[in-house]
Structure 1
Amino acid sequence: MKEGPDIARVAALIGDPARANMLTALMTGKALTATELAAEAGITSQTASTHLAKLDGGNLLRVRKQGRHKYFSLATDDVAAVLEGLMGLAAKSGHLRTRTGPRDASLRKARVCYNHLAGDMGIRMFDSFHGRGFLALEDETLQLTRTGAEFMTGFGIDLDSLTAQKSPLCRECLDWSARRSHLAGSLGRALLARIETLGWARRDAGSRAVLFTQRGEAAFADRLAVAPV
């Protein structure tokens, strides 16, 4: 009898095209209703309910009820990391959607990866933090250095609150469009929230794109994506 994790079951849950489309839609970090997810998948509400029940049963979704509606979101950061990794593998293998347009460039430049900043700007920020000694690998685990902690506190990040959480503070996430790392974990989530609070950028309501203002992009380059000396 085979022992260990059953990756075939998880892969089968993700691998159905309708379920894959619904899971991808939840990579915005927003909770969506069954009706909204049905539209994303191009299926009926009844069929969507069946798929959502399977995803929930497989512990890939978190379900919350508010009033008459149920809202669905990804269960954990680990689920989002697996999906982003699969997107990277699909892109590298040439399995790309055929639709092209202006939105594609925006997504490659800056987008939400579940709850943190991805795309070219996310990569630039990660490279800057690493080059300036804010991040370091210790025992194969990404850690925030003392210098990095001082910078984050000065930038308005509440590190005490973040370290009290169960989720990792820092985690590398492979970017599907460039196949290079950007910053995930509770720190990555807090940085994106801070960028939005400062008014540097806003999320595009119709996609995963993060749209920076001209002033915001200049401030981002000056504060977060400075090339190391």
Structure 2
Amino acid sequence: MLTRKQHELLTFIHERLGQTGVSPSFEEMKEALELKSKSGVHRLISALEERGFIKRLANRARALEILRLPEAIKTTPKSAKPSVAPVQQAKVLAAANDVLDLPLHGRIAAGMPIEALEGQNSLSVPAALLGPGEHYALEVAGDSMVEAGILDGDYALVRKAETARDGDIVVALIEESEATLKYLRHEGKMVRLDPANRAYDPQRYRPDQVRIQGTLAGLLRRYH
């Protein structure tokens, strides 16, 4: 069952497609639903995807596909143009300038662990770089993940998560005080955090020493 806001958003997107054949932008969706930020729109879209109402198209940036509609909104709006494709084929194309403001929580080490600073800053990120879920950003410090294409000064876009699979690149909080960005591995009863730089050695900890705070969802690089 959809929440009221999820239902409103799906209805709004469906009606706009029926009227114009083009989806509303994040800004238009935010205003239509009277939300405070486009991050709220992103959370609603993620929830609709998780419930199987829409799907992100893997090979088309900023594109979604509507898979199904609740019975309450399956009736095509009277203003719909007859040439518009059926809802199963309708493409929801987000505007190219749709961005989200992610919380920017200081710096994270891609070398030896350093303190992850909590901050009040934010980072504007293209919505197309993010998948479902809640996200935040961290500035990368160090060079131990360079062989994975993660450079000093990059911004790691992190999906909040408390668990991860072996081989995932994770934000690991060590001893509740220091955070690092590494590949996650399990080695017997130990947790191993692997760098992606031959100059660095793996780090091994007891499970009670490590807490997963998220998995890497993307990178943002600024060129000066």
> Does the alignment reach a TM-score above 0.5?
no
> Comparing both structures, which one devotes a greater share of its residues to strand?
2
Higher relative contact order (CA 8 A, sep 6+): 1
Larger radius of gyration: 2
